[in-house]
Amino acid sequence: MAATQEEILEGLAEIVNEIAGIPTEDVLLDKSFTDDLDVDSLSMVEVVVAAEERFDVKIPDDDVKNLKTVGDAVDYILKHQG
């Protein structure tokens, strides 16, 4: 069953917490991975791989650069999840 927006946000928050140590409650839709959440380009690859596994979605490298905010990622996953 496909995940809801809320479930995706919650899952991404847990992933970002694991990778960057940011408290889950600070991972909000309008936050920038790079500027607000201490996720640099290498760590973003880790976020993407973890999200792919968790939400059964493929996020090609070319699309990763468009995922600036948590909201961008949530929308992408909502649209592409299997």
Which spans of this chain sit near another protein (rule: CB under 8 A)?
19-21, 38, 42-43, 45-46, 49, 52
Max alpha carbon distance in the chain (Å)? 33
Residue 73 CB, nearest approach to another protein (Å): 17
Residue 49 CB, nearest approach to another protein (Å): 6
Closer Cβ to another protein, 29 or 45, answer by number? 45
User: Residue 36 has what DSSP assignment?
Assistant: H
Residue 4 CB, nearest approach to another protein (Å): 26
How far lies 63's CA from each of 20, 24, 45, 58, in Å? 21, 24, 11, 10
Tokens standing for residue 67: 């995922």
